[in-house]
Amino acid sequence: MKVIDIKNVEKIYNDSEVKVHAVNGVSLTFEEGEFTAIVGPSGSGKTTLLNMLGGLDNPTSGEIIIGETNISKLKGSRLIDFRLHNIGFVFQAYNLIPVLTAKENTEFVMHMQGIKKSEREKRVKELLSSVGLGDRIDSRPAKLSGGQQQRVAVARALASKPKFILADEPTANLDSKSTANLLDIMEKLNKEENITFIFSTHDQRVVKKAHRVITLEDGKILSDEVKS
């Protein structure tokens, strides 16, 4: 089933009198259950593209359709609400709230969605167990390693039951062991629960795990490879 349909999307930044095409005429589709890496050198447009997929930035032209919703036309509170219920995010810097426990960080999005306490608590326990942190549910970020914090971030991204998860350089701050553990967990969730992951990455370890690799250069698609 098609999750995302990108139609001739451009993102142009005006730097004084010079127009910079960060993304230049990109058209792509993503199906449910994909495990895809978007790669390319710095300045290739991959983070800009990911930000537009997540509704964090608007295209200059073109359309981004998620399910049956053209998010390019959503503004303000409607866009915020759509993101809240449909898109999960995993960032390079974890972005956990320091004063909250792993449990509280994970359930934060569900609290914003208005999900009742009993359901939140049940899902949090399941999610933190699924990422190997069932015994650290009451730990605050400062008491967790970088790899453990990123696993909490993955659990938080899953909490809202999104249509897909966007992961922007999720392994950039992790050592090799933590990276391997995180990727194994995400691949397991992808295979067993058919969760769609889209990565923006420089990390060849992520690229090796990905089932599809899209390469950008100068804001354009250089290649789109599905591994056999």
Q: What is the dihedral of CA 153, 154, 157, 163, to 10 degrees?
A: 160
**Average pLDDT value for residue range 3-32:** 90
Average pLDDT over the chain, rounded to an integer: 92
Residues 6+ apart with CB under 8 A from 208: none
Q: What pLDDT sits at residue 93? A: 83
3-state SS, residue 27: strand
Q: How many other CB atoms are found less than 10 A from the CB of residue 60?
A: 16
Q: What is the dihedral of CA 12, 56, 28, 8, to 10 degrees?
A: -30
DSSP 218: T
What are the structure tokens assigned to 12, written together?
A: 């142009």
Instruction: Provide the percentage of residues in the chain whose pLDDT is more than 90.
Output: 80
Q: What pLDDT sits at residue 196? A: 94
119-150: per-residue pLDDT in tens?
999 999 999 999 999 999 999 999 999 999 99
50-105: per-residue pLDDT in tens?
999 999 999 999 999 999 999 999 999 999 999 999 999 998 888 899 999 999 99
pTM of the prediction? 0.91
- Domain boundaries, position 180: 2-226
What does the buried/exposed string (b/e) look like for 166-175 if buried means 16 or more CB atoms within 10 Å of the residue's CB?
bbbbbbeebe
Task: Kindly report the CATH number assigned to the domain that includes residue 58.
Answer: 3.40.50.300
Domain count, the chain: 1
What are the structure tokens assigned to 214, written together?
A: 């899209």
The gap between the terminal CA atoms of the chain, to the nearest Å, is 19
Order the strands of the 220-226 sheet from edge to edge. Answer: 87-90, 164-168, 197-200, 35-39, 212-217, 220-226
Interatomic CA distance for residues 167 and 53, integer angstroms: 11
